[in-house]
Structure 1
Amino acid sequence: MNLGRHTISATSPVHILDARFDPDCQIFTTSTPAGFAVYRTYPLELIRKRELSGGTLAAIVPLHTSNLLFLLGGGRSPIYPPNKVIFWDDDLGSEVAELEFRERVRGLACRRGWLAVALRRRVVVFQIAEQVTRYGEWDTCDNPKGLLAMATGASATLLAIAGRQLGHVQLVHLPPCAPPPPKGPPPSSTPRKPPPPPTKHPVSIIAAHTTALTTLSLPPSGRLLATTSSRGTLVRVWDALTGKLMREFRRGTDKAEIYGVAFRPDERELCVWSDKGTVHVFTLVTSGASNRQSTFSPLTPFLPLPKYFESEWSYAQYRIPTQSAHISISASSRRPAADVPDEERCVVGWIAATPENASDRETEKEYQLVALTYTGGWYRLSLPSHSNASISTSASSGATPLPLSSSPPRPASMARPRTSSASSVVGRDKGKEREREKEGKESRDCVLQEFRRFGRWDGWG
């Protein structure tokens, strides 16, 4: 029997309604039809679960690793009205406040002391202290997905929201983010002063795409911005201060729904995941791994080749295994169609983990990926060995990405240029086929280091 894709999952999958990391990927929250839970990301550990009766949740947004969670009702039977944001104190196990709007809440983003709420055509920002105060409001274009992103690093100011025109991004600068509270005894040395805020922010609008936006992503510092559109083929990285396009990456050639983009904390790489069930990893710097490029790319200044041949492709990827091959026909026939979880849907975050081959004396860690599927799968993935993902304490917090105009390394053997600049469609199709074959041979897969399940305990699922 041909099962197609490799499968490692259990037979009766958990139905995850929502899963998301906190801004630092230290914890993640998950919602099922029975309630919600909070987990430690790595090593995977259940911190707390809350069984809810009377309805379901559409989202649980953690405020870093604090006891405060923001809840949104949703699903077939919402436990809260969809026009309310519920403040939940997880230490008390109860609601402590709520925000009510005249329409459905579409999205949330938060950082220490701040909450941004996306509605259909506007974004409202609140300051959270002893009291919740309204800070400001900005109009957007039609934003049914509630797209917005907030920089969460110390002294960061950026809030990215949809612009008033289709495909545009509006950049809003809030007061600087406070540093995280110190852990353990106070340091003996004087703490470093935060960098002074910029005197001006010259760019407030970025015309990112000509079609509707599907994701907005920021690193903790807020110095970069990643955008994707409804076409689902390209990921664009922008300088958030100048509005300059820094890099453009190609996820694939066919249309897809991109679910998210996540920057590595040191801004040296980013990962992209979509409804194709594949996680792609791109590098943003010159050292270490390099993104794949067409062997015809050096010819693009001289020949009118399609833009496809200029593209940068991921240097590493991972295919999320499917569960459908292990689900019995009788079990699937009894399950209502609306309750079948989306096997391709996932959310991905970066963690600092100890390499598998490290000795006890080694303390150096490396960046790895954790993917959470909506069928209850927890995947810890290491990058290819040449990716230069180790964490150095002496390294700076960020790295300057390559500008878009930087020339790729010239291949040792270049394909013979064509004599005529007016290439036929057949010739281009053959070139694309060769590129696809080459990509398949040179692709570097992430390594699955650990697989575990979450979302089912005490009869849940």
Structure 2
Amino acid sequence: MNLARHSISSTSPIQILDARFDPDCRIFTSATPAGFAIYQTWPLKLIRKRELPGGTLSAVIPLHTSSMLFLVGGGRSPLYPPNKVVMWEDTLGKEVAELEFREKVRGLACRRGWFAVALRRRVVVFKLDESVSRFGEWDTCDNPRGLLAMATGAYSTLLAIPGRKIGHVQLVHLPECVPPEPLGPPTSALPQPPPAPTKHPVSMIVAHETALSTLSVPPSGKLIATTSARGTLVRVWDTVTGNRIRELRRGSDQADIYGVAFRPDEQELCVWSDKGTVHVFSLISGSRASNRHSKFSPLTPFLPQPFKIFGSEWSYATYSIPSQQSHIALSSTSIRSQSKGIAEEDKCVVGWIQAAVDENDPTHLEYQLVALTYTGGWYRLKLPGDQGPLAGGSLPVSPRVMTGPLPGTPPSFKGGMGGKGVQPRNRTSSVSSMKSDKGKEKEKGDGEAKPSRKCTLEEYRKFGRWDGW
């Protein structure tokens, strides 16, 4: 009797209802049908999970790395009415306040001492101190996505919301964001207030002709990135002058852009969409990583409007998120399935982290990307080329745990995140080795290898399962 060989493993998909990074990408939250969990971004580690029977959440927004979270009910069986924002103190494990509105909450953004709630046609700002007080309210155009963005850096003031007309962006300046309290002894490296602008900042930007799809600002609030419903262009604006400083092309076909994230030093940004691809662009002319241009770009001023696409800047690096099926098991069969590309769309969210260039020298850091998929995939991506250490040479390693660790934080975890805890390792996934082999074959065939435009998958893990954690 010949019996076929089968691989017996759990193939039930992980369902993530929402995933959010904190402003510094040191932690992220995930909401599942069972409740929500808080993770350290890198090295990946579960900090706390909360099982909330009785309903589901549509959003779990962390207030920096504090124990304060904002919860919004949603899904097929909302835990809270969709018109409420619940403030959750995780050290106490309970609700401490709630805000109720007359309509569904569409979006929420927060920073130290402040948070803003987006409704269908208005945005309401609250001051968060010992109590919650209403600060102001601004009208917007129809905003079903709940778009808004708040600068979170020390002394930043910007709040970006949709304007009253489609495609417009309204810039609101709130009181300055206070710097975080130092964790160690006093030091002279505390952030200093920026110089006052020489001219009054603009209050409105005419960004697109069609409806906005995303709004994003860096921590300083000096720039803003906008995308529209067409999903082909990312425009970067100066928030003081209102001038457009970059127009970046994601692609030529229409897409639903999920988000844009600035690198903390504002030298690069990444964008991701329903195409399952992460695009990375440089914002600095003449830098090591330069955006791609068409061979016909010098002719752009002489070409009619349909051919202006030849003058666009294209991403210098990309990464395609593999389908969920290719990560059911990291085996020879999964390698073959990964080589076929993306089999299905996978919603994700992407953030920037600082990771060690060499495991043996944790003082030299470089910027990398972490992508979280709504099927429980955690990807750490290395940008192409040799970045070298960040400006300043040897830097102290960024803190990797929450400010004031939550009580009961487990030291390590086994099971879905690798079996031996969550210590980082280089190129655990077979995707990276597969790509490197292809690169070697190309070198042998062409004689001279071209610089790679692909991000490298340094590490892959799973998150979102309760079993065994």
Say which of 450, 455, 458 aligns to 2:464.
Answer: 455
The CA distance in 1 between the partners of 2:109 and 2:199, in whole Å, is 24
Question: Measured at CA, do residues 389 and 313 of structure 1 come closer, stay the same or move farther in structure 2, by a change above 3 Å?
Answer: farther
Question: Measured at CA, do residues 152 and 389 of structure 1 come closer, stay the same or move farther in structure 2, by a change above 3 Å?
Answer: farther
Report the equivalent of 2:348: 346
Report the equivalent of 2:373: 373
Question: Measured at CA, do residues 10 and 27 of structure 1 come closer, stay the same or move farther in structure 2, by a change above 3 Å?
Answer: farther
The CA distance in 1 between the partners of 2:219 and 2:310, in whole Å, is 32
Question: Measured at CA, do residues 192 and 16 of structure 1 come closer, stay the same or move farther in structure 2, by a change above 3 Å?
Answer: closer
Alignment of 1:360-439 (within 5 A): 360-361=360-361, 363-386=363-386, 388=387, 390-393=389-392
The CA distance in 1 between the partners of 2:255 and 2:389, in whole Å, is 31
Report the equivalent of 1:243: 242
Report the equivalent of 1:282: 281
Q: Note the residue ranges of structure 1 that are not aligned, 5 or more in a row.
A: 1-8, 329-341, 396-440
| Contact 1:10 1:323 survives alignment (8 Å) | no
Deviations 1:77-121 (A, max 9, x none): 000000000000000000000011011000000000000000000
Report the equivalent of 2:126: 126
Matching residue's letter, 2:375: T
| Contact 2:201 2:239 survives alignment (8 Å) | no
Question: Measured at CA, do residues 230 and 186 of structure 1 come closer, stay the same or move farther in structure 2, by a change above 3 Å?
Answer: same
Deviations 1:297-339 (A, max 9, x none): 01223444701101111000000000246779xxxxxxxxxxx
| Contact 2:364 2:393 survives alignment (8 Å) | no
Report the equivalent of 2:317: 316
| Contact 1:343 1:373 survives alignment (8 Å) | no
Alignment of 1:16-55 (within 5 A): 16-55=16-55
SS in structure 1 opposite 2:309? Answer: helix
Report the equivalent of 1:428: none
Report the equivalent of 2:217: 218
Alignment of 1:55-454 (within 5 A): 55-187=55-187, 189=188, 191=190, 193-198=192-197, 201-286=200-285, 287-304=287-304, 306-324=307-325, 343-355=345-357, 358=358, 360-361=360-361, 363-386=363-386, 388=387, 390-393=389-392, 444-454=453-463
Matching residue's letter, 2:274: D
| Contact 2:382 2:455 survives alignment (8 Å) | yes
Report the equivalent of 2:414: none
| Contact 1:317 1:443 survives alignment (8 Å) | no
Report the equivalent of 2:441: none
Report the equivalent of 2:433: none
The CA distance in 2 between the partners of 1:157 and 1:65, in whole Å, is 20
Structure 1 stretch displaced more, 12-21 or 373-382: 12-21
Structure 1 stretch displaced more, 315-324 or 135-144: 315-324
| Contact 1:12 1:327 survives alignment (8 Å) | no
Question: Measured at CA, do residues 59 and 38 of structure 1 come closer, stay the same or move farther in structure 2, by a change above 3 Å?
Answer: same
The CA distance in 1 between the partners of 2:328 and 2:367, in whole Å, is 34
| Contact 2:60 2:70 survives alignment (8 Å) | yes
Q: What displacement does 1:181 show?
A: 1.4
Question: Measured at CA, do residues 322 and 125 of structure 1 come closer, stay the same or move farther in structure 2, by a change above 3 Å?
Answer: same
Q: What displacement does 1:195 show?
A: 2.2
The CA distance in 2 between the partners of 1:459 and 1:19, in whole Å, is 21
Q: What displacement does 1:457 show?
A: 2.4
The CA distance in 1 between the partners of 2:189 and 2:318, in whole Å, is 43
Q: What displacement does 1:393 show?
A: 2.5
The CA distance in 2 between the partners of 1:283 and 1:193, in whole Å, is 27
TM-score normalised by structure 2 residue count: 0.80
Question: Measured at CA, do residues 349 and 323 of structure 1 come closer, stay the same or move farther in structure 2, by a change above 3 Å?
Answer: same
Q: What displacement does 1:199 show?
A: 6.6
Percent identical residues: 72
How much is the aligned-residue C-alpha RMSD, in angstroms?
2.1
Question: Measured at CA, do residues 214 and 359 of structure 1 come closer, stay the same or move farther in structure 2, by a change above 3 Å?
Answer: closer
Question: Measured at CA, do residues 306 and 59 of structure 1 come closer, stay the same or move farther in structure 2, by a change above 3 Å?
Answer: same
| Contact 1:271 1:280 survives alignment (8 Å) | yes
| Contact 1:11 1:323 survives alignment (8 Å) | no
Q: What displacement does 1:194 show?
A: 1.6
Question: Measured at CA, do residues 347 and 231 of structure 1 come closer, stay the same or move farther in structure 2, by a change above 3 Å?
Answer: same
The CA distance in 2 between the partners of 1:33 and 1:282, in whole Å, is 35
| Contact 2:384 2:452 survives alignment (8 Å) | no
| Contact 1:29 1:38 survives alignment (8 Å) | yes
Deviations 1:409-454 (A, max 9, x none): xxxxxxxxxxxxxxxxxxxxxxxxxxxxxxxx87611000000000
Question: Measured at CA, do residues 442 and 17 of structure 1 come closer, stay the same or move farther in structure 2, by a change above 3 Å?
Answer: same
Matching residue's letter, 1:73: G
Matching residue's letter, 2:249: R
- Paired residues, number: 390
Matching residue's letter, 2:348: C
SS in structure 2 opposite 1:226? Answer: strand
The CA distance in 1 between the partners of 2:297 and 2:452, in whole Å, is 18
Question: Measured at CA, do residues 389 and 307 of structure 1 come closer, stay the same or move farther in structure 2, by a change above 3 Å?
Answer: farther
| Contact 2:275 2:345 survives alignment (8 Å) | no
| Contact 1:148 1:162 survives alignment (8 Å) | yes
Q: What displacement does 1:10 show?
A: 7.4
TM-score normalised by structure 1 residue count: 0.81
Q: What displacement does 1:385 show?
A: 1.3
Deviations 1:362-418 (A, max 9, x none): 6210000000000000000000015x37411379xxxxxxxxxxxxxxxxxxxxxxx
Deviations 1:21-53 (A, max 9, x none): 001100000000000000000100000000010
The CA distance in 1 between the partners of 2:292 and 2:191, in whole Å, is 40
